[in-house]
Structure 1
Amino acid sequence: MNSLKTTLLSSVITALLSTAMSTTAVASQTTVDTLSQQLKVNYQVIDNHAANHGVDCSSLGGDWGACNKATISLTNDGPAITDNNWAIYFSSIRMILAVETDQFTITHLTGDLHKIEPTEKFTAFPEKGTIEIPIIGEYWQLSESDVIPRWYVTSEGAKPKVINNTNTETLSDFVSPIGQQWQRTPDDHNVLMTPVTRFERNADVQKLSASTLRGQIIPTPTHITVGKTNITLDKTGVNLQLKSLNKASQAVLSKQFQQLGVKLSDKGYKIQASIDPTQFENTVSGAYLLNISDKQATITAYDESGIFYAVESILSLIPAGEKPTITTAEINDAPRFDYRGIMLDTGRNFKSKQAVLKLLDQMSHYKLNKFHFHLSDDEGWRIEIPDLPELTSVGGQRCHDLSEQSCLLPQLGSGPDSDNLGSGYFSRDDYIEIVKYAKDRFIEVIPEIDMPAHARAAIIAMEARYNRLMAEGKTEQANEFRLVDPTDTSNTTTVQFYDRRSYLNPCLDSSKRFVDKIITEIAKMHSEAGQPIAVWHFGGDEAKNIRLGNGYQDINAEEKVTWKGTIDQSKEDHPWAKSQACQALVAQGTVHDIEHLPSYFAIEVSKIIKDHGINNMQAWQDGVKYAENAQSFAVDQVRLNFWDTLYWGGFDSANDWANKGYQVIISNPDYVYFDFPYEINPKEHGYYWATRFNDERKIFSFAPNNLPQNAETSKDRDGNVFNAKGTKDWPGSYGLSAQLWSEIVRTDKQMEYMMYPRLLAVAERAWHQSDWETPYVKDREYKLGETQYVDQTTLLNDWTRFANLIGQRELAKLDLAGINYRLPIPGAKWVDGKLHANIAFPGLTIEYSLDKGKTWLTYSQDVTVNQQDQVMVRSRAADGKRTSRAEIVE
Structure 2
Amino acid sequence: MVNCFRVLLVFLYLSPLFLFSQEQDIDIVPRPSKIMVQDGEFPLGQIIDLYYTEEFASNTELLREVPGLQIGNSEQIKKLKKQHNQGLRLLKAEEFDHVDPNGYLLEIDENGILLKAHSAKAMLPGIYSLVQLSYLNDLKFLPYVKIEDKPRFSYRGMHLDVSRNFMPFNFLKKYIDLLALYKFNYFHWHLTDGAGWRLEIKQYPELTQKAAWRTHMLWKDWWNNGRQYVDQGSPNASGGYYTQDQARELVAYAEKRGITIIPEIEMPGHSEEVLAVYPELSCTGKPYTQGEFCLGNEKTYQFLKNVLDEVLAIFPSQYIHIGGDEADKSHWKNCSKCQALMQKDSLKSEDELQSYAIKQMDEYLQSKGRKLIGWDEILQGGLSDGATVMSWRGEEGGIQAANAGHDVIMTPGGYLYFDGYQTDPRTQPEAIGGYLPLEKVYSYNPIPEELPEDKRKHILGAQANIWTEYIPNAQLVEYMAFPRALALSEVVWTDQENRSWKDFQKRLQQQYKILQKLEVNYYRPSYNVINKVEFDSAQVKNTVSLSSEQFIPNIKYTIDGSEPNGGSTVYNLPIELSKSAVIKAASFIDSTRVSPIETIELDLHKAIGKEVKYNIPWEGYPAQENRTLTNGIKGTLSYQDGQWQGFTKGIDIVVDFERREEIKSVGLNFMQIPGPGVYFPGEFTVLVSDNGKSYRELGKIINQVSTVDPALKFQKFEIELGKPVMARYIQIKATNPMNGYLFADEVVIY
Normalised to the residue count of structure 2, the TM-score between the two structures is 0.63
Is the Cα contact below 8 Å between 1:244 and 1:275 reproduced in 2? no
Look up the equivalent residue of 1:601 and give its one-letter code. Answer: A
In the alignment, residue 400 of structure 2 is paired with which amino acid? D
Q: CA distance change for structure 1 residues 420 and 265 in 2, over 3 Å: closer, same or farther?
A: farther
**Is the 1:227–1:328 contact (alpha carbons within 8 Å) kept by the matching residues of 2?**
yes
Deviations 1:156-215 (A, max 9, x none): xxxxxxxxxxxxxxxxxxxxxxxxxxxxxxxxxxxxxxxxxxxxxxxxxxxxx9973422
2:310 to 509, 518, 521: 521
User: Which amino acid is the alignment partner of residue 364 of structure 1?
Assistant: A
Give the drift of 1:413: 8.8
Does the alignment pair 1:272 with 2:79?
Answer: no
Q: Which has the higher strand share?
A: 2
Which residue of structure 1 aligns with residue 325 of structure 2?
541
> Quick check: 1:221 aligned with 2:32?
yes
Rounded to whole Å, the distance in 2 between the matches of 1:672 and 1:829 is 22
Q: How far apart, CA to CA, are the structure 2 residues paired with 1:449 and 1:245?
A: 35
| Distance change in 2, residues 1:757/1:535 (3 Å) | same
The CA distance in 2 between the partners of 1:681 and 1:457, in whole Å, is: 32
1:840 is aligned, of 542, 549, 569, to 549
> Does 2:444 match 1:696?
no
Residue 395 (structure 1) aligns with: 211
2: CA distance, partners of 1:240 / 1:821: 35
Matched, 1:251 2:251: no
Structure 1 equivalent of residue 394 of structure 2? 645
- Residues 373 and 448 in structure 1, CA contact (< 8 A), matched pair in contact too: yes
**Mapped contact 1:487–1:579 kept (Cα < 8 A):** no
Cα 1:320/1:289, change in 2 over 3 Å: closer
Which of 782, 793, 802 is 2:504 aligned to?
A: 802
- Aligned equivalents of 2:99, 2:117: Cα separation in 1: 12
Q: Tell me how far apart the structure 2 counterparts of residues 459 and 885 of structure 1 sit (CA, whole Å).
A: 52
Aligned residues of 1:630 and 1:662 also touching (Cα < 8 A): no
Q: Would the alpha carbon gap of residues 427 and 408 (structure 1) be closer, same or farther in structure 2, given more than 3 Å must change?
A: farther
Alignment-derived partner of residue 582 in structure 1: 338
User: 1:322 aligns to what?
Assistant: 138
Q: Residue 421 of structure 1 contacts residue 747 of structure 1 at CA under 8 Å; is this kept in 2? A: no
Partners of 1:277 and 1:303 within 8 A in 2: no
Question: Aligned residue for 1:386?
Answer: 202
- Cα distance, 1:586–1:433 mapped onto 2, change above 3 Å: same
Q: Are the counterparts in 1 of residues 53 and 90 from structure 2 also a CA contact under 8 Å?
A: yes
2:526 to 805, 825, 835: 825
**What amino acid is the match of 1:622?**
E
Say if 1:422 and 1:746, in contact at 8 Å, map to a contact too: no
Secondary structure of the equivalent of 1:731? helix
Question: What is the deviation of 1:359?
Answer: 0.8
Is 1:665–1:736's contact at 8 Å kept on the other side of the alignment? yes
1:661 aligns with 2:410: no
Superposed CA deviations along residues 194-249 of structure 1, whole A, max 9, x for unmatched, are: xxxxxxxxxxxxxxx9973422421112222222323332x215444344466564
Aligned to 1:731: 456
Is residue 2:317 matched to residue 1:505?
no
Counterpart residue number, 2:487: 761
Contact 1:214-1:327 at 8 Å conserved across structures: no
How has the CA–CA distance of structure 1 residues 342 and 238 changed in structure 2, closer, same or farther, with 3 Å as cutoff? Answer: farther
- Secondary structure of 2:321's match? strand
Deviation of the 1:655 alpha carbon: 2.5
The structural deviation recorded for 1:606 is 1.2
Determine the C-alpha separation between the residues in 2 that align with 1:729 and 1:421: 53
Q: Distance in 1 between matches of 2:273 and 2:594?
A: 37
- Structure 2 match to 1:619: 374
Residue identity (%) = 23
Query: Where do 5+ consecutive residues of structure 2 fail to align?
Result: 1-19, 75-84, 532-544, 557-564, 571-583, 600-750
- Does residue 231 (structure 1) correspond to residue 42 (structure 2)? The answer is yes
Query: Aligned AA for 2:409?
Result: I
| 2:60 partner letter | Q
CA distance in 2, matches of 1:828, 1:271: 48
In structure 2, do the counterparts of structure 1 residues 703 and 579 end up closer, same or farther at CA, with 3 Å as the change threshold?
A: same
Q: How many residues align?
A: 528
Counting only pairs closer than 5 Å after superposition, residues 717-796 of structure 1 correspond to structure 2 as 730-732=455-457, 733-771=459-497
- Call closer, same or farther: CA 1:400–1:262 in 2, change over 3 Å: closer
Distance 1:742 1:656, change over 3 A: same
SS in 1 for 2:242: coil
SS in 2 for 1:265: strand
Deviations 1:48-99 (A, max 9, x none): xxxxxxxxxxxxxxxxxxxxxxxxxxxxxxxxxxxxxxxxxxxxxxxxxxxx
Give the C-alpha shift of residue 585 in structure 1.
0.8
Q: Which residue of 2 aligns with 1:345?
A: 161
Q: What is the alpha-carbon distance in structure 2 between the residues aligned to residue 806 and residue 738 of structure 1?
A: 19
* SS in structure 2 at match of 1:328: strand
Give the equivalent residue in structure 2 for 1:74: none
Of the two structures, which has the highest relative contact order with CA contacts closer than 8 Å and spacing of 6 or more? 1
Question: How far apart, CA to CA, are the structure 1 residues paired with 2:421 and 2:181?
Answer: 25
Question: Unpaired runs of 5+ in structure 1?
Answer: 1-208, 402-406, 464-481, 489-497, 527-531, 546-573, 632-636, 709-724, 773-794, 831-835, 849-861, 876-883
Taking a change above 3 Å as real, the CA distance of residues 420 and 499 of structure 1, as seen in their structure-2 partners, is closer
Distance (whole Å) between structure 2 residues aligned to residue 509 and residue 361 of structure 1: 42
1:670 aligns with 2:414: yes
CA-CA distance at 1:598 after TM superposition: 1.5
Cα distance change on mapping 1:605 and 1:360 into 2, 3 Å: same
Given that residues 191 and 198 in structure 2 are in contact (C-alpha distance below 8 angstroms), is that contact kept between their aligned partners in structure 1? Answer: yes
Q: CA offset at residue 840 of structure 1?
A: 2.6
Q: AA paired with 1:765?
A: V
Partner of 1:125: none
Larger proportion of helix: 1
Deviation at 1:679, TM superposition (A): 2.2
Give the partner amino acid of 1:768: T
In the alignment, is the contact (CA less than 8 A) between 1:825 and 1:885 conserved in 2? no
Name the CA distance, whole Å, in 1 between partners of 2:349 and 2:508. 52
Which deviates more, 340-349 or 216-225?
216-225
After superposition, the Cα gap between the structure-2 partners of 1:277 and 1:607, relative to the gap in structure 1 and judged at 3 Å, is: farther
SS at 1:617 equivalent: strand
Instruction: Indicate the residue corresponding to 1:815 in structure 2.
Output: 516
* Residue in structure 2 matching 1:683, options 407, 410, 427: 427
**CA deviation string 1:827-885 (max 9, x = no partner):** 4599xxxxx997535389x999xxxxxxxxxxxxx955899xx998699xxxxxxxx99
Q: What is the one-letter code of the residue matched to 1:806?
A: L
- Matched with 1:717 is none
Report if the CA contact (8 A) 1:487-1:578 is conserved. Answer: no
Change in 2 beyond 3 A, CA 1:215/1:400: closer
Asked whether the equivalents of residues 740 and 755 of structure 1 are also in contact (C-alpha less than 8 Å), the reply is yes
Change in Cα spacing, 1:281 to 1:536, as seen in structure 2 (3 Å) is farther
Rounded to whole Å, the distance in 1 between the matches of 2:313 and 2:255 is 15
Displacement of 1:522? 1.7
Select 1:610's aligned residue among 342, 361, 366: 366
**Contact between 1:231 and 1:326, CA under 8 Å: does it hold in 2?**
yes
State how far apart, in whole Å, the 2-side matches of 1:540 and 1:669 are: 17
Question: Could you say which residue in structure 2 is the equivalent of 1:713?
Answer: none
- Residues 262/429 of structure 1: CA separation in 2 closer, same or farther (3 Å cut): same
Query: Is the contact between residue 153 and residue 460 of structure 2 (CA under 8 Å) also seen in structure 1?
Result: yes
